[in-house]
Amino acid sequence: MTAAVQLRNLRKVYDGAPPITALDGITLDMAAGTIYGLLGPNGAGKTTAIGICTTKVRATGGAATVAGLDVAHDAVAVRRQVGVASQAITLDRSCTVAENLYYHCRYFGLAAADSRDRAATLLERFLIADRRDAMPNQLSGGLAQRVQLARAIAHRPSVLFLDEPTAGLDPQSRLALWDLVATLRGEGLTVVLTTHYMEEADRLCERVAVVDHGRILAEGTPAELKRDSGGTAVVDVALGDREAARAALDGVSGVSEVHDTERGLRILVSADGGGVPRVVSRIAEHHLTDLKVVEPSLETVFIRLTGRDLRE
Amino acid sequence: MSNRNSVVASVIGLWARDFRVLRRDWVPTTLRTIMNPLLTVFIFTYVLPRTGQRLPTAAGSINLATVLVPGLVAVAMIFTAIAAVALPLSIELGATREIEDRVLAPIPLATVPLAKVAFGAFQGALAGAVIFPIITLVPATAVHIRVASWGMLVLMLLLSSWTAAALGLFLGTAVRPQHIGLMFAVILTPIMFLGCVYYPWASLSSIRWLQVVVLANPLVYMSEGLRIALTPDVPHLSAAASAGMLAVLATLLTTAGVRGFSKRVVV
């Protein structure tokens, strides 16, 4: 399989006092024709990685190629190959929805008639034809994001970069966008998306890299990542007597790690063989006030790798 | 398609977009363009003479309306450059990042700001042309416009509109949206009042320090250059000095603007 995107020891340090290291040596291969997810909390470096691949950010070190083209030396050619939809709505506020698509095609050198045709096709396909004359400010978040997606693929790129495409969307819009992305991938487009929604990565992505503090903590298919973390469930408890509870957990089979949290303990336990009920029964008498169990998922993978929730 | 052809096609696309926005906003744009010259001409060349107040013009026997024409053309260009280039650019580079779609077009990065300057210059030239009907209709006294050389007029219009648009680019990339009001107060106001619009540069000889200080103002060379082309009977700087300084300032402002633009869009 050929790699649509290759990152080699990619580094980015933003100037400032103090300088901020956004990427600390990332190496990744993203296969053509797949949906690849960069999963991590805000500030992990995901947006910077996408910025470098789409020529908006200059790398401090290392190399990145997109469709075989070096982003640092062949920026203009790379821009033909990439489509970008960012988290923020960057639609042209002075132009209508239809004009946003039309002029995007013109910027990519399409003739006026071809651009009009392409815009009309996209308006139909993305179900936004009835809002063609609306200004971007009049659109809901979900609709605006759909227009951005239509614009991103208008010039037929080979790699589509989506930066937190569903952040802030209602569940219905999120599902609609997932469907669109899956369809685009079915047509042979490579999709790279960043997200801090576990479910999004799990449902949509064929491979995932877990990123934190500018480094890759794990990489693989969602199934591999979950398997590698040993089917671990995370049990978060709030309780009155932390030390007594800790003692009670001593020697309980399946428990791999116990950490202090603000309100109690976080216990990592094998989900198989009744590990969770065993833990709960052991600590129930230690003034347990709250209980949350996270089943083995990408979320538990992340908690195990970083010791933090994605939302923290 | 060869590379050069595709850049040309993209630039035409960028202009088509700007032209569309201009056409949609033509009523506010026209109002914005004519209000300042209309009221300036009305007060200085109609109201004041009729109310019996005499404004001394250092240009001797030449009436103020004639002195004003080139200055007002230059001011219209500066106004337009700010309104058509600096203000939208400041916003598009700001929180909305609207410029992003154009920055990601498959063309060298400098193409986007350069296309903006070219379109701003075109709009500035249109705005400058609006002065002529106003100055023929409003003043109580006759205006003496005499184009000695059309080549000189074209040269001065090109250099002036380019300088104005380049100033717009520079300010648009350097000034954050929240400081726009401040820019009007501390940059544009002195440019307008110290730009040899209402008086020829030669008349400042009695205030020598001021005559020297205003030479830092690009509007001075625009007003004086257009004076050479339109009203050669009013005292003016030499053509070489005006054209030379305009070319230098326009180049510097364009270079600084393109650099500022690149710094804002690629980090």
Has residue B1 got a pLDDT over 50? no
Buried b (16+ CB within 10 A) or exposed e, A185-205: beeebbbbbbbbbbebbbebb
Higher pLDDT, A254 or B218: B218
Which pLDDT score is estimated for B253?
Answer: 96
So where are chain A's domains? 3-226, 232-295
Closest partner residue to A79 among B14, B88, B106, by Cβ?
Answer: B106
Q: Which residues of A fall within a CB distance of 8 Å from B102?
A: 107
A103 and B266 within 8 Å at the Cβ level: the answer is no
CB of A13 within 8 Å of any CB in chain B?
Answer: no
All residues at 6 or more sequence positions from B262 whose CB lies less than 8 Å from its CB, including other chains: B109, B110
Which pLDDT score is estimated for A239?
Answer: 83
**Of B167, B174, B176, which Cα lies nearest the Cα of B263?**
B174
Q: Which of A103, A114, A159 to mutate to test the interface with B (most CBs of B within 10 A)?
A: A103
Closest partner residue to B14 among A76, A100, A107, by Cβ?
Answer: A107
- CA distance to partner chain B, nearest, from residue A178 (Å): 23
Q: Which of B2, B23, B98, B116 to mutate to test the interface with A (most CBs of A within 10 A)?
A: B98
CB of A137 within 8 Å of any CB in chain B?
Answer: no
CB of A232 within 8 Å of any CB in chain B?
Answer: no
**Of A175, A147, A131, A129, which Cα lies nearest the Cα of A91?**
A147
Nearest CA in chain B to A104: B101
Q: Which residues of A fall within a CB distance of 8 Å from B16?
A: 103, 106, 112
Order of strands, edge to edge, in the sheet holding A82-85?
Answer: A82-85, A159-163, A190-195, A35-39, A207-212, A215-220
The ipTM assigned to this model is: 0.87
Assigned token pair, B162: 């380019």
Three-state DSSP string of chain A:
CCEEEEEEEEEEEECCCCCEEEEEEEEEEEECCCEEEEECCCCCCHHHHHHHHCCCCCCCEEEEEECCEECCCCHHHHHHHEEEECCCCCCCCCCCHHHHHHHHHHHCCCCHHHHHHHHHHHHHHCCCHHHCCCCHHHCCHHHHHHHHHHHHHCCCCCEEEEECCCCCCCHHHHHHHHHHHHHHHHCCCEEEEEECCHHHHHHHCCEEEEEECCEEEEEECHHHHHHHCCCEEEEEEEECCHHHHHHHHCCCCCEEEEEECCCEEEEEEECHHHHHHHHHHHHCCCCEEEEEEECCCHHHHHHHHHCCCCCC
A108 and B106 within 8 Å at the Cβ level: the answer is yes
In this structure, which CATH number among 3.40.50.12280, 3.30.70.260, 3.40.640.10, 3.30.980.20 belongs to the domain A232-295? 3.30.70.260
- CA distance to partner chain B, nearest, from residue A253 (Å): 51
Which pLDDT score is estimated for B57?
Answer: 54
User: Burial level of B26, CB count in 10 A (0-12/13-18/19+)?
Assistant: exposed
Task: For tokens 């830092």, name the residue.
Answer: B216
A92 and B10 within 8 Å at the Cβ level: the answer is no
CB B225 within 8 A of CB B242: yes
Q: Which of B17, B29, B85, B109 to mutate to test the interface with A (most CBs of A within 10 A)?
A: B17
Note the pLDDT tens digit of each residue in B150-197.
998 999 999 999 999 999 999 999 988 888 888 888 999 999 999 998
- CA distance to partner chain B, nearest, from residue A58 (Å): 6
What's chain B's average pLDDT? 88
Collect the ranges in chain A with pLDDT lower than 70.
1, 229-230, 309-312
CB of A74 within 8 Å of any CB in chain B?
Answer: no
User: Burial level of B144, CB count in 10 A (0-12/13-18/19+)?
Assistant: middle
Task: Identify the contact set of chain B against chain A, taking CB-CB distances under 8 A.
Answer: 1, 3, 5-6, 9-10, 12-14, 16-17, 20-21, 24, 88, 96-98, 100-109, 265-267
Q: Which residues of B fall within a CB distance of 8 Å from A100?
A: 101
Nearest CA in chain B to A105: B13
Nearest CA in chain A to B94: A90
Q: What is the mean pLDDT of residues B112-138?
A: 91
A107 and B101 within 8 Å at the Cβ level: the answer is yes
CB of A125 within 8 Å of any CB in chain B?
Answer: no
Q: Which residues of B fall within a CB distance of 8 Å from A103?
A: 13, 16-17, 20
Note the pLDDT tens digit of each residue in B25-43.
899 888 888 888 888 888 8
- CA distance to partner chain B, nearest, from residue A57 (Å): 5
Nearest CA in chain B to A54: B104
Q: Which residues of B fall within a CB distance of 8 Å from A89?
A: 96
Which pLDDT score is estimated for B58?
Answer: 47
Percentage of chain B modeled with pLDDT above 90: 49
- CA distance to partner chain A, nearest, from residue B110 (Å): 12
A-B C-beta contacts closer than 8 Å: 91
Which pLDDT score is estimated for A307?
Answer: 73
Closest partner residue to B106 among A14, A76, A111, by Cβ?
Answer: A76
Which pLDDT score is estimated for B180?
Answer: 85
Assigned token pair, B168: 């717009």
Higher pLDDT, B58 or B207: B207
Domain count of the fold of chain B: 1
Q: Which residues of A fall within a CB distance of 8 Å from B115?
A: none
A88 and B96 within 8 Å at the Cβ level: the answer is yes
All residues at 6 or more sequence positions from B181 whose CB lies less than 8 Å from its CB, including other chains: none
- CA distance to partner chain A, nearest, from residue B173 (Å): 17
A84 and B104 within 8 Å at the Cβ level: the answer is yes
- CA distance to partner chain A, nearest, from residue B38 (Å): 28
Fold category of A3-226 in CATH: Rossmann fold (3.40.50)
For B155, the domain range is 3-265
